[in-house]
Amino acid sequence: MKISLKKQAYSHIRSRIIHGSLVPGDRISHRDLAKDIGVSYTPIREAINQLVEEGLVECHARRGTFISSPRPEDVLEIADIRAGIERQLMEKLAGHVSSGALAEVRELNAQLRRIIADFEQTGGRLWVVEQARQWLFTNMGIHLTLLSEAGNRRAIKTIIELQLVTCGSGYLDQAPTLEGLLFAVDTHEKLFDALERGDAVAAGTVIKEHVEHDLLDAAKAARNGHFGKVRGWQSPKEGLAPSVIRRMKELEVD
């Protein structure tokens, strides 16, 4: 079935937003987009109107069109959706996760602890872009690995898209707290243990707490005007562990 020009334009722009080549605050050039996609201004305008309705793009008279920064209420809605879906998936996965996947996520979590150790050496003050990239990539790898093990591809695609939309919140414009970073890695470990021993209730409870805590911090960052995102979140992929790249390919996250 032939895809309409508006749909092509919409998919192209939305993909660039999700993948981080267009980030909050970036100005959108209708001319450049039309040239990149190979369409006229009309489908570009129609696609942008749809993205405005979805809250991903903002139009300002005499200023132009810009990528929106997620509102706190948007982030909280995403937290509810993600927590609900991931809780169901982790409850289902409990007792059925492979030893190989558990080894992968434990090693990735150990990498997160090393990032925290480097951060602690600065007294919890210096959080550079490379640390942010490494944290986000590695954390994403943990979620991708477990979601891949769960096997529900439709749910996985939904979670991945939601996570990519909010993944960089707060980590560039302001340093995270040691407490928040430690909570993330500690709840990861609790989740791994629950999955390994087949405790579905504990696995569901822990992942819900983990997602809600992470996105509550994101909502706070958005409320304070500190919403940042790592440009080029998925590309280039330098710095990702080989296991993360493999999982991304398996799930067709490109």
Please list, in sequence order, all residues whose beta carbon lies within 8 angstroms of the beta carbon of residue 192, skipping any fewer than 6 positions away.
102, 105, 106, 109
Same domain for 120 and 220?
A: yes
Number of Cα atoms under 13 Å in the Cβ half of residue 70: 31
Residue 183 pLDDT > 90: yes
Report the C-alpha gap between 100 and 109 in whole angstroms: 14
Higher per-residue confidence, 13 vs 188: 188
Q: Mean per-residue pLDDT for 158-187?
A: 72
The length of the chain, given as a count of residues: 254
Taking only the tens place, the pLDDT of each residue in 230-247 is 454 444 455 555 666 665
List the domain range (segments joined by +) for residue 18: 5-67
C-alpha pair distances (Å), 233 with each of 77, 85, 87, 209: 22, 23, 25, 25
Same domain for 102 and 170?
A: yes
Find the helix or strand (DSSP H, E) in which 58 lies.
strand 57-60
End residue of a domain, out of 24, 47, 67 = 67
Taking only the tens place, the pLDDT of each residue in 81-121 is 888 999 999 999 999 999 999 999 999 999 999 999 988 88
Taking only the tens place, the pLDDT of each residue in 4-38 is 899 999 988 887 876 667 877 889 999 999 999 99
Find the helix or strand (DSSP H, E) in which 24 lies.
none
Taking only the tens place, the pLDDT of each residue in 128-149 is 767 777 887 788 889 888 988 9
Taking only the tens place, the pLDDT of each residue in 155-171 is 877 877 676 566 544 44
Higher per-residue confidence, 2 vs 195: 195
Report the C-alpha gap between 24 and 225 in whole angstroms: 11
Quick one: pLDDT band at residue 223, thresholds 50, 70, 90? low
Q: Which two tokens stand for residue 177?
A: 């707290």
Predicted local confidence at residue 169, as pLDDT: 45
- Kindly report the pTM of this predicted structure: 0.72
Type of residue numbered 173: D
Same domain for 180 and 198?
A: yes
Same domain for 207 and 167?
A: yes
Same domain for 183 and 243?
A: yes
Taking only the tens place, the pLDDT of each residue in 36-85 is 999 999 999 999 999 888 778 888 888 899 988 767 777 778 888 888 99
Same domain for 51 and 83?
A: no
> How many structural domains does the chain have?
2
Same domain for 151 and 85?
A: yes
End residue of a domain, out of 67, 84, 108 = 67
Same domain for 82 and 187?
A: yes
Per-chain mean pLDDT for the chain: 80
Same domain for 26 and 102?
A: no
Greatest distance between any 2 Cα atoms in the chain = 60
Quick one: pLDDT band at residue 122, thresholds 50, 70, 90? confident
Residue 174 pLDDT > 90: no
Report the C-alpha gap between 212 and 169 in whole angstroms: 14
Same domain for 214 and 143?
A: yes
Report the C-alpha gap between 72 and 220 in whole angstroms: 7
C-alpha 168: how far from its chain's center?
7
